[in-house]
Amino acid sequence: KQEVTQIPAALSVPEGENLVLNCSFTDSAIYNLQWFRQDPGKGLTSLLLIQSSQREQTSGRLNASLDKSSGRSTLYIAASQPGDSATYLCAAGGGSQGNLIFGKGTKLSVKP
Amino acid sequence: NAGVTQTPKFQVLKTGQSMTLQCAQDMNHEYMSWYRQDPGMGLRLIHYSVGAGITDQGEVPNGYNVSRSTTEDFPLRLLSAAPSQTSVYFCASGNGYEQFFGPGTRLTVL
């Protein structure tokens, strides 16, 4: 059974710092890996999607990498801003049906 | 495009009552799903559908029913609400690659 773990559970950094959020999964036979952002009381916003055949994806200040052999993905945020404060969730896609297994998230706080 | 819409945004039920959470998408996605989000548990899959007329169970299906009569709509029915079903419910739709989530329904069962 696929299990997804995110470490740390919470992270506080000063504005401007570069940071890395970690995601690990137990079954390397994933279809894709998706990173989401969730603001308090809101829904999930898709940030980046990495297909199983890809190594990384970039969008603006965000870069996500995928290493299936080690069961790890990282989300790199460059030059963090207070507006980046949110909970970040990673989810492993288990097949073409699209079912996602979620980690419990990393709550990020960026201090001005 | 409105994307994925959910109604209602908030709902309070008494134990034993039934209700339907509505979900609609306008992206012509075949795949739709329902998740619940609970503190300390993360998001867990309740039911999903890979197309009209096709549904299947996820990780936590007990106490919930679904049907998929059209591509656009995927309602979630609570047959007899229990306090354990107090949660935030998210509907999602996908194109086989990426999934998009609705704003959620916050349900409290007293």
- Our CA angle for A97, B87, A10, nearest 5°, is 85
pLDDT of residue A94: 75
Sequence-ordered list of residues with C-beta below 8 angstroms from that of B62, at least 6 positions apart, any chain: none
Model confidence pLDDT, tens digit, residues B74-94: 999 999 999 999 999 999 999
pLDDT of residue A98: 66
A98 and B31: CB-CB below 8 Å? yes
Q: In this structure, what token pair is assigned to residue B84?
A: 């354990």
pLDDT of residue B73: 97
Using a CB-CB cut-off of 8 Å, the residues of chain B touching A42 are 103-104
* Partner residue facing A34 (CB), from B41, B58, B98: B98
DSSP B75: -
Residue of A nearest to B41 (CA): A104
Give dist(CA A46, CA B100) in Å, integer: 7
Across the range A27-48, mean pLDDT stands at: 92
Contact B105, B7 (CB under 8 A): yes
Give the pLDDT band of residue A26 (cuts 50, 70, 90).
Answer: very high
Percent of all residues in chain A with a pLDDT value above 70, rounded to a whole number: 96
B104 and A43: CB-CB below 8 Å? yes
Model confidence pLDDT, tens digit, residues A51-96: 989 999 999 999 999 999 999 999 999 999 999 999 999 999 876 5
Phi and psi at residue A9, in whole multiples of 5°? -75, -30
Using a CB-CB cut-off of 8 Å, the residues of chain A touching B96 are 96, 98
Model confidence pLDDT, tens digit, residues A1-12: 889 999 999 999
pLDDT of residue A95: 65
pLDDT of residue B1: 74
B90 and A43: CB-CB below 8 Å? yes
Question: pLDDT below 70 — which residues of chain B?
Answer: none
Residue of A nearest to B50 (CA): A97
